[in-house]
């Protein structure tokens, strides 16, 4: 990858010059309406992080505009406090994804990130390479297509990230993608590289477990969930860590 910074009138863009294969990145490429007018950008099922899929000159990608959640969304909407370019949500995630890819981890390749500053606040966008023909773990659960073998692959993949010190801030079933025997983790907003430690690693797993419960993974009973999904996931996770 070759990260290149491009100033704009209200902020900046960082993009992978090798992936885009041109000297400048068109700011309009961060606008979903631009793509809808040309090839029909589509929101993925389940609304993965508010992303839309786009068919860009540099390939199939996912475009995501950063939105706040919870009570803060009512006050600030999609605005974030300005504390420097490198600490914007988009630039930080772009940089983290680059590092994860350098570690050989199955995370989306970052294509471009942007921030637009307005006084003490900014808005942000991110474009990543789309993982085509993949389903979320949430979709697999809804289709009753999740089994022990799949759970084990998920557990082993999470262990790879944790071994590298990659902490996912929102590890849930919507942010785990499956394609054949491959497992990917997506949406690394607020994620970071840390010194591996049991406390935050277990917190990551606990967040995923709560997500699975919320999506009805235990609808056939707690014992069935533990036996068929959670215990195989944990066993593969611990085995990969060892």
Residues identified as active-site? 170
Q: Which candidate, 217, 207, 5, places its Cα nearest to that of 95?
A: 5
User: How many whole angstroms separate alpha carbon 92 and alpha carbon 229?
Assistant: 33
Could you give the CA distance from residue 82 to residue 10 in angstroms, rounded to a whole number? 13
Tokens, residue 157: 């993949």
Q: Is 66 left (phi over 0), alpha (psi -120 to 50) or beta?
A: beta
Helices (H), the chain: 17-20, 32-36, 70-76, 89-102, 137-142, 148-163, 198-214, 222-225, 231-241
- How many Cα atoms are found within 13 Å in the side-chain-facing hemisphere of 7? 1
Residues 127 and 112 sit within 8 Å (Cβ to Cβ): yes
Burial string for 86-109 (b: 16+ CB within 10 Å, else e) reads: eebbbbbbbbbbbbbbeeebbbbb
Nearest to 129 by CA among 171, 167, 184: 184
Under 8 Å between Cβ of 150 and 217: no
């Amino acid at each position: 990858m070759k990260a290149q910074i491009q100033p704009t009138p209200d902020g900046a863009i960082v993009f992978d010059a090798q992936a885009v294969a041109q000297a400048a990145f068109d700011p309009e490429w961060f606008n979903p309406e631009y793509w809808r007018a040309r090839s029909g950008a589509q929101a993925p099922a389940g609304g993965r992080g508010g992303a839309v899929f786009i068919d860009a000159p540099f390939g199939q990608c996912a475009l995501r505009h950063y939105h706040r959640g919870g009570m803060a969304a009512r006050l600030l909407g999609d605005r974030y406090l300005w504390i420097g370019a490198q600490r914007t949500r988009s630039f930080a995630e772009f940089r983290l994804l680059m590092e994860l890819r350098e570690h050989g981890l199955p995370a989306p390749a970052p294509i471009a990130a942007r921030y637009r500053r307005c006084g003490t606040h900014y808005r942000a966008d991110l474009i990543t390479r789309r993982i085509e023909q993949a389903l979320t773990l949430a979709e697999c659960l809804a289709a009753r297509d999740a089994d022990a073998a799949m759970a084990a692959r998920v557990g082993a993949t999470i262990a790879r990230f944790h071994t590298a010190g990659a902490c996912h801030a929102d590890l849930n079933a919507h942010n785990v993608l499956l394609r054949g025997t491959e497992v990917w983790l997506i949406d690394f907003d607020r994620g970071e590289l840390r010194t591996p430690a049991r406390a935050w690693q277990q917190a990551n797993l606990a967040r995923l477990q709560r997500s699975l419960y919320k999506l009805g993974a235990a609808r056939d009973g707690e014992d069935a969930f533990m036996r068929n999904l959670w215990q195989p996931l944990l066993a593969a996770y611990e085995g990969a860590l060892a």
